[in-house]
Amino acid sequence: MPGPGSHDDCTTLLGKHRIAFYSRMGEGPQTVRLFFSPGRVNLFGGHLDYNGGPVMPTAIDRGTFLAIRPREDGVIHLQSRLDSQGLEFVLGQEPRTKSGRWVDYPVGVIRELLTHWNAGGAARPVCGLDILYGGNLPVGAGLSSSASICVGTAFALNEVWQLGLDRRSQVQCALDAEREFVGVQCGIMDPFAIGLAKPGHLLWLDCKDESFEHLPIDFEELSIVVANSGVQRELAAGEFNKRVMQCSQAFEAMKKHVPGAKCMRDVDPASFEEHRSELEPVLEKRATHVVAEVVRTFAARQALVDGDYERLGQFMTETHRSLRDNFEVSSPELDLLVEAALEVDGCYGSRLTGAGFGGCTVIMAHPDAVSEVAAHVRKRYSAEKGWMPDVEVFHGDEGPREVSL
């Protein structure tokens, strides 16, 4: 039977998405094209991307749906199934400032794509479009719904407008849109994890030089389970930007001790131990996490390559504890989800995923233990928090694509 994120299920949901498109946008002679763009879950390297460290995320089989139909009047019409208020504008007159609404993500990407297109001096004018967004990824839950929309938009419009951008350039457009138009100082992990996904693999991404590699993962031996706390990440944007700033302040204070260091990732454990007392207490805590997490992420890579999932899981749980105690981005709900999962035999490890402050945890478990882990986590969480969390197995994904029904 197809699971909730399986290929069959995705096709069925996209079929419904096309029906929703017609009811929102009306019938028309032009063909509606359908696209899927995954979300991502980060397994290793918590809050390392903006410190230039290594990360190991994977794209997941839940994501954003786009239904797109060309129109001849040069108008871009954006709608979402999650919001009755859309946006219309004429190509060439894109909004110049953000609105604080979801439309900022696609508008930011469209602006980036048009800049590329103008710079390339292409002769073929781009056409207007009706676009309906939807999906099966919880929004604001730490599974990167924003990068899913941005990379998905860059991919789909590159196809529809035939811009000829390669995948790496599409990822860059998505990243620039979030940083420059939406104004979040996000690291590079999320759009890379989505845009460069390969099924059956984690992405090993070195955020210092943007080099990457796909590392195989054996889903016969290890399942990835996601538990949603149901708590929206209220503080996320402000607190996230604060962590980015604190890490950069810690680096400013440490760099004089490490010749040639370009980012916090370059501060080695020995130099940090020697000079940590020079940092004010909060910065010392943040740096403690980053320095140890870099070492841990390299060790986790080795454990993955060795197929040692017990050890891999221990690193994951250590990451959670450091994110909780040193980086202070966890919450009582996330801690409870992690601790409950760890009580079940066959659970290798667990941690919060994404920025933290709410959203989801990820659990690595032996496939035979998954039902028990899910049942136990649901039972403890609902008994203590009065709310039944979604706990589901997620599969990997191949990245953004057009889907024909």
Least CB distance to ligand GLA at residue 186 (A): 4
**Residue labelled with tokens 């057009």:** 402
Set 61, 130, 176, 190: catalytic member: 190
**Residue labelled with tokens 């941005």:** 150
For the window 29-58, what string marks contact with ligand GLA as x by the rule CB under 6 A?
-------------x---xx-xx--------
Which stretch of DSSP H or E encloses residue 316? helix 309-325
Using CB under 6 A, which of 14, 171, 355, 391 touches ligand GLA? Answer: 355
Least CB distance to ligand GLA at residue 377 (A): 22
Q: Which residue is nearest to ligand GLA (CB)?
A: 187
CB 344 within 8 A of CB 219: no
Cβ neighbours around 168 below 10 Å, total: 12
Cβ-based neighbours of 264, under 8 Å, separated by 6 or more: 51, 52, 53, 247, 248, 250, 251, 254, 287, 290, 291
Q: Which is nearer to ligand GLA, 46 or 400 (CB)?
A: 46
The reply to whether 218 belongs to the active site is no
Chain residues 96-155 in contact with ligand GLA, contact rule CB under 6 A: none
- The alpha carbons of the chain give a radius of gyration, in whole angstroms, of 21
Is 221 strand, coil or helix?
A: coil
Q: Which is nearer to ligand GLA, 147 or 403 (CB)?
A: 147
Q: Which is nearer to ligand GLA, 57 or 86 (CB)?
A: 57
Per DSSP bridges, beta strands 75-80 and 128-135 are parallel
* C-alpha–C-alpha distance, residues 25 and 180, integer Å: 30
Longest distance between any two alpha carbons in the chain, whole Å: 70
The verdict on 320 binding ligand GLA (CB under 6 A) reads no
The phi and psi torsions of 21 (rounded to 5 degrees) equal -60, -50
Q: Which is nearer to ligand GLA, 113 or 189 (CB)?
A: 189
Least CB distance to ligand GLA at residue 266 (A): 18
Using CB under 6 A, which of 14, 150, 186, 279 touches ligand GLA? Answer: 186
**Residue labelled with tokens 């004089």:** 256
Least CB distance to ligand GLA at residue 144 (A): 6
The verdict on 354 binding ligand GLA (CB under 6 A) reads yes
Q: Which is nearer to ligand GLA, 289 or 395 (CB)?
A: 289
Q: Which positions lie near ligand GLA, rule CB under 6 A?
A: 42, 46-47, 49-50, 186-187, 189-190, 354-355
| Catalytic residue list | 190
